[in-house]
Structure 1
Amino acid sequence: MLDTFRSYAQTKAAKVILGLILIPFALFGIDSYLNQAGNNLSIAKVNGYKIALPEYNRAIDNVRNRMTSDGKKVDPAMFDSFEFKESVVDGLITKQLLNNDIKKSKFKITDQQLSQYIVGMPEFQKDGKFSQELYDKVLQNNQLTPKKFEESIRNDLLIQQVRDSLQKLTFIPPNNLAETLKATSQQREVSVVEFKTKEFMVKATIAEKDMQSFYDQNKSKFLAPEQVKAEFVVFSLSSILPSINVTEDEVKAFYKTNADKYQNQQQREASHILIAASKNAPPVDKAKAKAKAEDILSQIKKNPKQFEELATKYSQDPESAKKGGELGAFGRGMMVKPFDDAVFSMKVNEVSGIVESDFGYHIIKLTKIVGESGGFDAMKPQLKAELIYQKGQEKFAALTEEFSNKVYEQSSSLDAVSKKFNLPIQKTDWISRNDSDKFFKNEALMNALYTKESIKDHRNTEAIEVTPNNLISARVVDYKAQSTKPFVDVKKNIEDYLKFEAAKKTVASEGESALKSVTDVSRKIDWQPAVLVDRKNTKGLSEAVINQAYKMPTDKLPSYSGFIDGNNGYIIVKVNKVAFPNDNNEENKKAFATEYTEALSAEYLTAYLKGLKAKANVSVNQKFFEATQKN
């Protein structure tokens, strides 16, 4: 029973479901009563209660934050997996089932209990005491009224009461505890021999006709995606800044209006390389972007002189990339804070580490410091640059609508908008839906290229903001439908796959044959050195081997067993002896008793929740999950 729970509790799904039951939601964001109109997509229903998209999204963020807050490394791809999303929904369903059952029960949290809990919450402590000011500020930041916050906390405490009551019901007789402790602390001396698939794969040979036959029978596996070639124009703030002029009087007036801001201020000239990743991008995309930025940084460290070349080649800030990453002059506060803090702490010609902002990952090179303190004359270049930038923003905002209207009204060509705004028409190579990384890393733009209007009618896409102050309209000029890849292009992949499948069969056969003859002294088996293990101290053996070793009978030793280890191969396990350590340490016994009690309590909770779910009317919007997996 304990093993069953441990196995369950270690799965990602269980951690998410139990986490959702235990996490107080009140301080993680507004609860479901604040669902906005337009966000009423139903993710699931529990006895008529609708779990809507905002509640689901907040739960996703809450669990992700909780799983990464302690500094542990978590594979970002996990958060995009169907298993993770499904488990979050299971957790929300479970929480609602508990809420419903609690309302029918006699569980109660008094006002005094509620007040004591809130006063003791670490989020509201200042100098070791409850701070009303901090309490008001936290609630305001989370758009919560005291009444609704207290309702949420009261509900969480009621759920905790349910868990506590189940734990109190958990009684373990001393004899049972002693026997269980003995069983779980049992040690086994284990040795293994592995038959590895990859080693047999090298020896496998596949006939040409078998590869051709596999190709003919599985052409659906070898489809080349539909692709387009496109032309596009980029309308950006930086493209109109050169046309902005300011007079000396305007600069002086600007300085006078902002005199306090510019007292004793310097300005910076810098270049950067941006690998784009929006703050709301999936963790797996952000991880890929950061890895790419780190690779570029390592190249710069080897040869700092290639910064401009690498900026032109890799930076996803389209306008500065054309100038080797050059951004021009700017003062403190003009850039986003992480960028601003980094560049104003650097020395001339210094290259930063990876700087993360809402736009992605930057590598910054400081090229010049100008504008030492000295009043208007010293600050004039920066003042002029800031005033030009401010006027440019105003003009860009005014022209954005005109640009959008132009690409829409004259949608059969980009020539008109190109001439009107003096923008070059650029071209792409063949790109598929999966190539958004090659095309401004913008999914909305890629989706727009694959509409019927874009492909069949060759109409301009709407103006799409791919990064702040950068609008793009694109137009499909050529199209390739989905097609089957030629045999010659996929032959190597087919050969590798068939070799792998053949190797799996051979390794299983070889392993089973070896298992039957383990006691045959004439057959040499290369056993790995034996190690004494228990369920916690596995001495480097895999979880699969340990599980197999503890399933094996020990009435007659040595004992032998074999199993297929997924795609890795076949493993034979030998148990040589069994030992029971004599542990009279009272602390260890108490720790085990606590762990065992918690495990039993968790099993009771799981059974209780299964019972609630069996009696409830629960439905899940499977189409939503199918759509998110496709994306």
Structure 2
Amino acid sequence: MLEAIREHTKGWLAKAILAAITIPFALFGIDSYLTGAGSGVAVAEVGKQTVTAQEYSNAMQNLRSQMQAEGQQVDQAMLDDPATKQAVLDRLINSKLLSAEISKAGFYMSDEALSQYISGMPEFQRDEKFSQEIYDSILRQNGLTPSRFEQGMRNDLLVGQARDGIAALAFIPTTLAQQTLKTVYQQRDVSVTEINAADFLPQVKVTAEDVQKYYDEHKDRFRVPEQVKLEFTMLSANTLIASMKVTDDEMRRFFDENAAKFQGDEQRRASHILIGFGVSASEADKKKAREQAEDVLAQVKANPAKFEELAVKFSQDPGSAEKGGDLGLFSRGTMVKAFDEAVFTMKPGAISDLVESEFGFHIIKLTEISGQSQSYDDVKLNIRAELLYQKALAKFAEQAENFSNMVYEQSSSLQPAAEAFGLQIQSSDWLTRNDGSKFFKSEKLMQQVFSDDVLKDKRNTEAIEIGPNTLVSARVLEYKPAAARSFEEVKAGIEEFLKLEQAKKLAKEKGEAILADLKNGKAHDELEWIPPVTITRKEAQGLSDLAMSHLFKLDASKLPAYGGAVDGNKGYLLMQVQSVTSELGDDATENKTAELELQAALSAEYVAAYVSSLRKKTDVKINTKLLDPVQP
């Protein structure tokens, strides 16, 4: 029984749920999982929905658990990689987007259809039939009510149908697929050479009159934008961390409640003998089962070498009894709580006393430990930092509204707010709108700074959120209106600019003349072509993006083929294609696989484009600071 449950519950969800579900259910999160401090803090806001810190944390832990369940080596560096974290968060965000669109479109799944799907899931079956007992046990293990679970499944099935429906629109005929693959895998032998603009600079003459004329005709380009000097004060969760306190009891409790999170890559292998007492057992049933279990335990203690033999004879867990009670390797949090707590305190070779769970009485033998766990002392500093940050977030949430009200109601000075919340008032240097937007990372704040209320009436700005859990209010100390730079300030720069523009023009003219000659079969032996290289669309062999974008567009029906392009301030780039290979291989199986991959890629692009369109019309805000654990 326990073995059967374990085998069905070691997939994406770290605490055992639905490994074989094809919809990305595990990454989407279920509200009932959102327990623990800080669970409601938003990692991302998706329209009117949020991706909570607990959902994100669950998804990352689920990824670790799936890798372990699939026998992969868990690489913490990979899990900590920003690209991995962003991919997990994007999945969560996309789920929210699709869910909202499905709701808006009025998609519906009947109770009958949902019931048929769940009853057909192998996770809930015994002897090829739906088992209410297994269903209830799995949901109970994960703290889920049937209504919560079914609500989540209904949503995920609808999301899956919408995604599959979009993907099904992508179709590519075999002939077109083969032509496309020939193009995709095409190889070209190419070479390039540069007509350098710098070589023409000695030929260029720019007069003082040319410089003055350019200045007179483009004065708007030489205007200094309006500028301000600001004073500002900032309320941030990060600055509150120093005033927070965390006790040893709080850290220990957090460690105990999140044991699975800190397990490292440790796994344990155990065997057990289960003497069950059934669901809703009476006290008499339990007493009878205990007496039998104590008798078996006495036999085990008398002769530990016979553990496997006694398991085959007495254990009532059909999934493991025939294997001498062997449960295989498993991570912390995979088994039921009582079993888990017992086995992760044992030493290899040790045999436990009776351990009671909802399934009955267990006699456990620990046979192997692989990997390494993390002790409380190993992670104590990280736990302290995380709890400090959670407390700072809570304190920030308490103070944010009062801070916003104070800088608005006492708008003639930032001093009252600074004193009330123990904040510093800081000053800036001269800032343009653009400078200020970059400095504060907020265009909204600078829009307020240059508004009439703030600029002319010398009022505080509103408290503006310039980053996750960070509010700023500013006021103007000094102001400079926009003004033109003098000719003397800019004339040297104008002269250099005009020289380069003329040199680029000469380089282009020469390049285009040479290109015309090459296309007409006239050689130019003075050109210094690079040694030919073989490129594909994936292998640039060191060529620039400009060269790659043009080389595969050149008409190669007549070889050699030539092309050219203006290369920014460098000059003019000449390109040559000497030969082209665009045949598919002879292996029919490989070609078919490539065709299927092309079809899958096209389907994925359809889905990605659809989700992208939803994202563009939805306000998505990401709290980037919560994507990474707080370091001590």
TM-score range, shorter chain: 0.3 to 0.5
Larger Rg: 2
